[in-house]
Amino acid sequence: MAANDPPSPPEEQCPQLSTTVSSPVVDEEIPGRPEPREEAGPQPVFTSPKWKRDLSSDSEDDLAELLEPDPEPVWSVETLCGLRMTLKRRRVSTVRPEHHKVFTRLLEDPVVKKFLAWDKMLRVSDKYLLSMVIAYFSRAGLFSWQYRPIHFFLALYLANDMEEDNQAPKQDIFYFLYGKSYAQRPMFHKLRFQFIRSMRWRIWVSREECEEIQAYNPELWVWARDRTNLT
């Protein structure tokens, strides 16, 4: 920290979380996943889309995830009058089991776990905002093993951007991660823009999709984070 930075945040605050592009937030090895290929220069948080990768250098798990076809469109009968039938195209979720697994894995990260415990009033992390995090993971185009805690916070910040009328509470994310220092915020916003681009600007998530995401594993403990249950 530079000499002119403000004093450190209160004791209950989490240690600072690095968001530099040259180094992912969490550098520990993920069991069962291949190490990233060595390349010249720093390793970015966001890599090129999966369809541009060299298939010959990926593991079998990655290839299975890469080559899995997109869901087929589903049609349902909307009206039926005599021999005339009106069909309606139903929305098909792009969220797959691996995206739920990524989310569940990140919930066990010490920084993420401490943040969720810190946000006791669910100002920025109720069940619908957390559902949007999974939806964004499904659209970002990264392999499952590439997701780090920084992606969780980027997605959660973006969810608050989209859904909350009061934009002040989302500043709690900055306060928790960086305290009163503003030095890291420009980098966070740069990564947020890259995250939006990786989703091809598809940042709106319907309530129906959020509820479908929650229904995949209804016993997951974060789905109890319901603001209507707060006294």
Residue written as token pair 């530079």: 2
Query: Is 188 within a domain?
Result: yes
Cα(80)–Cα(159) distance, rounded to whole angstroms?
39
Task: Identify whether residues 86 and 99 lie together within a single domain.
Answer: no
Task: Identify whether residues 114 and 201 lie together within a single domain.
Answer: yes
Cα(80)–Cα(231) distance, rounded to whole angstroms?
47
Which residue segment(s) compose the domain that 74 sits in?
57-90
Model pLDDT, residue 15: 44
Query: Is 111 within a domain?
Result: yes
- Annotate 134-190 with three-state secondary structure: HHHHHHCCCCHHHCCHHHHHHHHHHHHHHHCCCCCCCHHHHHHHHCCCCCCHHHHHH
Is 231 or 210 the better-scoring residue by pLDDT?
Answer: 210
What domain count does the chain have?
Answer: 2
Q: pLDDT tens, 137-171?
A: 999 988 989 999 999 999 999 999 999 888 888 89
Query: Is 181 within a domain?
Result: yes
Task: Identify whether residues 100 and 85 lie together within a single domain.
Answer: no
Collapsing DSSP to helix, strand or coil, 54 comes out as coil
**Helix-strand-coil percent breakdown of the chain, rounded to 5?**
45, 5, 50
Model pLDDT, residue 99: 93
Task: Identify whether residues 148 and 69 lie together within a single domain.
Answer: no
Q: With 80 as the cut, is the pLDDT of residue 195 above it?
A: yes
The mean pLDDT value for 179-197 works out to: 93
Gyration radius (Cα) of the chain, Å: 20
Is 1 or 77 the better-scoring residue by pLDDT?
Answer: 77
Task: Identify whether residues 119 and 225 lie together within a single domain.
Answer: yes
Query: Would the pTM count as exceeding 0.85?
Result: no
Query: Is 177 within a domain?
Result: yes
Model pLDDT, residue 161: 92
Distances (CA, A) of 18 to 45, 78, 126, 163, 186: 11, 51, 24, 26, 12
Query: Is 37 within a domain?
Result: no
Model pLDDT, residue 31: 42
Q: How confident is the model at residue 91 (pLDDT cuts 50, 70, 90)?
A: low
Is 90 or 52 the better-scoring residue by pLDDT?
Answer: 90
Beta pairing partners, 84: 81
Beta pairing partners, 79: 86
Residue written as token pair 């190490």: 35
Task: Identify whether residues 69 and 140 lie together within a single domain.
Answer: no
Query: Is 130 within a domain?
Result: yes
Model pLDDT, residue 4: 54
